Amino acid sequence: METKEAIRHAQLNKISKNNKTWTNSINEIKLYESLFADSIWKTAQVVGVTLSSDNEIDTKPIILQARLQSKKVCVPRTRDQYQMDFFKLESRTVIRKNDFGIYEPRENINLIQKKEIDLMIVPGIAFSLMGDRVGFGGGYYDRYLSDFKGTTVSLADPLRLYEDRTWRLEKTDQQIDKIVTVER
Ligand SMILES: Nc1nc2c(c(=O)[nH]1)N(C=O)[C@@H](CNc1ccc(C(=O)N[C@@H](CCC(=O)O)C(=O)O)cc1)CN2
Ligand SMILES: Nc1ncnc2c1ncn2[C@@H]1O[C@H](COP(=O)(O)OP(=O)(O)OP(=O)(O)O)[C@@H](O)[C@H]1O
């Protein structure tokens, strides 16, 4: 078993070398297709998703599809003590890059309650088929999801997918309900 720190280090290195290839983009397209075909997606009215950075699975196609299907989209904004809140994303929402280089809404307007969110698309840098997840390390999602009642889904391209977890679980780790993968 490895530490999450070691996985994070190895994954960030691997992802930064590979994420600009066409193979990777086509894998992302396959992930979006299976997400949008899923009944979890089809029935969701309110979707929580991040504003992706360069080294993450691009969330713009997810935001576009949600808007085309008249779903409400909300995005996270971090605050103190590794907490975050979700705010409704609208055309007029002003996005800024925060001190950690993460994109988020500049204003805390239109808070969406946790219980309103049907589907949470959870980011991460490594996942197992069983729903284990390694994120950037703040524990933001572990905290937020600890009393979340909706469905959680993560998109795991081949770069981010481990069939079996090779890292040690922590008590606070939240399992993801559904890991979407590129079938081969
Ligand atoms: N696009 C995107 N947005 C997201 C996330 C994400 O993974 N991707 N998050 C997923 O969780 C949340 C933000 N996560 C963060 C994770 C780590 C650090 C971070 O590394 N902070 C400092 C250390 C701070 C400290 O320890 O005091 C740093 O290392 O510089 C910041 C935010 C919410 N928004
Ligand atoms: N509910 C919680 N209460 C207190 N501490 C927590 C909770 N959830 C996670 N933590 C702590 O937060 C720290 C970071 O957690 P972890 O390494 O799992 O982050 P991550 O899930 O990879 O990151 P993120 O969710 O921000 O992408 C760990 O020390 C963990 O113990």
Q: What is the pLDDT of residues 151-160, one digit of tens each?
A: 999 999 999 9
pLDDT at 36: 98
- Of 95, 88, 92, give the one whose Cα is nearest residue 47: 88
90 labeled part of a ligand binding site: no
pTM over 0.90: yes
Take residue 158 and report the two structure tokens written for it.
Answer: 């081949």
Q: Is 134 in the pocket of ligand 2 (CB under 6 A)?
A: yes
Mean pLDDT of the chain: 96
Cα-to-centroid distance, 92 and ligand 2 (Å): 32
Kindly report the backbone phi and psi dihedral angles of residue 56, in degrees, each rounded to the nearest multiple of 5, phi listed first: -115, 165
Distance CA 38, CA 40 (A): 5
To 10 degrees, what angle do helices 22-37 and 60-68 make?
30
- How far lies 59's CA from each of 54, 64, 135, in Å? 10, 9, 16
Residue 19 — very low, low, confident or very high, per pLDDT cuts 50/70/90?
confident
Q: Domain-by-domain residue ranges, the chain?
A: 4-181
DSSP 8-state class, residue 52? -
Residue 184 in this model has a pLDDT that exceeds 70: no
Assembly ipTM: 0.92
Distance CA 119, CA 121 (A): 6
Cα-to-centroid distance, 42 and ligand 1 (Å): 29
Which value, in Å, is the radius of gyration of the alpha carbons in the chain?
16
- Residue ranges of the alpha helices (H) in the chain? 4-18, 22-37, 39-43, 60-68, 140-145
Distance CA 74, CA 88 (A): 4
Cα-to-centroid distance, 172 and ligand 2 (Å): 7
* Top-tier CATH class for 4-181: alpha beta
What is the number of alpha carbons within 13 Å of residue 107 lying toward its C-beta?
A: 8
Q: What is the pLDDT of residues 57-97, one digit of tens each?
A: 999 999 999 999 999 999 999 999 999 999 999 999 999 99
| Closest ligand 1 atom to 123 CA | 7
* Nearest-ligand number for the alpha carbon of 146: 2
